[in-house]
Amino acid sequence: MSKPALTLGPLLFNWPAEQKRDFYFQMADEADLDTVYLGEVVCSKRESFFDPYLASVIERLEAAGKEVVISTLALIMSPREMEALRGLAADEERLVEANDLSGTALLAGRPHCIGPFVNVYNEGTVDYLGRRGAKRICLPHELPGASIAALAGRGVELEAAVFGRLPLAISARCYHARAHGLHKDGCQYVCDRDPDGMTVETLDGDAFLAVNGTQTLSYRYGSLLGELTELQGSGVEHFRLSPHDTDMVAVAGLFRAVLDGKREAEGARQELEALLDAPLSNGFYYGDEGWRYLDGTPRSVA
């Protein structure tokens, strides 16, 4: 089996453009990554801020030997967004990751990637997308390990999301703006106040979700550090980290060390927890509630 590839998914949050540029420069120079996904996935209104830096970021990443893949929006809602998607699909210089079905249609017939926002749940879907040119599929976050194993070995590279807050939903409306008494069209980009998402609490005051513009995520950080060896044995070749406002060089180092068999997962998990402001979860992998953290045995349900 080839060496596992450690990847960095697209940044989901609205960071200042200069901070985002410097982050990717650091990833290029210091992080042990094989592939970096660039592009706006959540809200097209954010795209223009980073455009002046995109070429220099790509150049820096590729000069450091990292593969660059361009990610597309998870929800296309306007003719302008559709036209931008057509422009990306027409650029054959780099791989493009489709995050909705319109993207898969435009990219059909050429090598491309499928992102985790496309519902790939069974072998037939993998085969269909593979026939249409999909080279790599990043599977949805909610798939249990048994389902991931069932999708391997079908001629398409599989990628598993192994770190980061879990995307749960995306909407045409912006709750982030509404929470600040604003409309989506005049949002004032208030999502930039929450670099890892705005915490949502239950009526009892328990944190349980995070809001990122039009996107809803888990409050807890998904982590499959302890499942990396099993995922490799299942045929997964690429392992995706989602960028967060923490020491991502250290995060990448922990996952790389466990993937390469140089660290035990439990010790690495303790170090990972120390880097974060919320607990870890891995319940989806075991077919359980996604917010739970299990030690490898599914919780019995009465």
CATH code of the domain containing 10:
3.20.20.70
Residue at 205 is within a domain: no
Residue at 122 is within a domain: yes
Residue at 281 is within a domain: no
Residue at 172 is within a domain: no
DSSP string, 244-264: -SS-HHHHHHHHHHHHTTSS-
Residue at 159 is within a domain: yes
Distance, in Å, from the CA atom of 231 to the CA atom of 148, rounded to the nearest integer, reads 8
Can you read off the two tokens belonging to residue 197? 């998402």
Look at the chain and report how many structural domains it folds into: 1
pLDDT, tens digit (0-9, with 9 covering 90-100), for 185-215: 888 889 999 999 999 999 999 999 999 999 9
**Residue 58 lies in domain:** 5-165+221-268
pLDDT, tens digit (0-9, with 9 covering 90-100), for 208-230: 999 999 999 999 999 999 999 99
**Given this model, what pLDDT does residue 298 score?**
56
Asked if residue 24 lies in contact with residue 54, where contact means CB atoms within 8 angstroms, the answer is no
Residue at 240 is within a domain: yes
Residue at 158 is within a domain: yes
Residue at 72 is within a domain: yes
Q: How confident is the model at residue 63 (pLDDT cuts 50, 70, 90)?
A: very high
pTM score of the predicted model? 0.94
